[in-house]
Amino acid sequence: MADHNRAARLAQRIKVILAEALQKTVKDDRVDNVTITEVRVTNDLQQATVYYTVFGDDETVADAHQAMEENRGLLRREMGRGLNIRLVPTLELIRDTVPEQAAQLEEALRAAKARDAELAAQRENAKYAGDEDPYKE
């Protein structure tokens, strides 16, 4: 069994190899906006999960996903050429949705901050419904 450090080093190397392959080897215009964000390799070095993001609208994202799936074999071949291991890991390509989720979370935080500021402004001019201090004599 391989240790975690070797799997992490291999994942980093695969990330570099795939990024270079997308730029130089893959001759598909649909992958121009693809960025490899993370690669995870199992401890037995048999499976590599590749997370990628696509800059563009929904149609561009769908086209890029299709192009990535079509070029999976080419990417695996380039990965095999760049690695010095006997068995080349199989590729699982997953679109990374973390940036979109982060943008939604930031928008929710921005809205909450605006509501807090609005409540603070209302609180400054607020007056008690009854007397100032009904317990004073």
What is the average pLDDT across 45-50? Answer: 93
The single residue listed with the structure tokens 């561009």 is 60
**pLDDT(2) > 70:** no
Give 121's pLDDT tier (boundaries 50, 70, 90): confident
Calpha distance 91→47 (Å, rounded): 6
Give 137's pLDDT tier (boundaries 50, 70, 90): low
**pLDDT(110) > 90:** yes
**pLDDT(1) > 60:** no
pTM: 0.72
What backbone torsions phi and psi does residue 93 show, to the nearest 5 degrees? -100, 120
Structure tokens at 44: 């037995």
Which pLDDT belongs to residue 38?
Answer: 92
Q: Domain boundaries in the chain?
A: 4-97
Which pLDDT belongs to residue 31?
Answer: 85
Which pLDDT belongs to residue 107?
Answer: 92
**pLDDT(111) > 70:** yes
75 CB-near residues (< 8 Å, 6+ apart)? 18, 21, 22, 26, 68, 91
Q: Which fold has domain 4-97?
A: GMP Synthetase; Chain A, domain 3 (3.30.300)
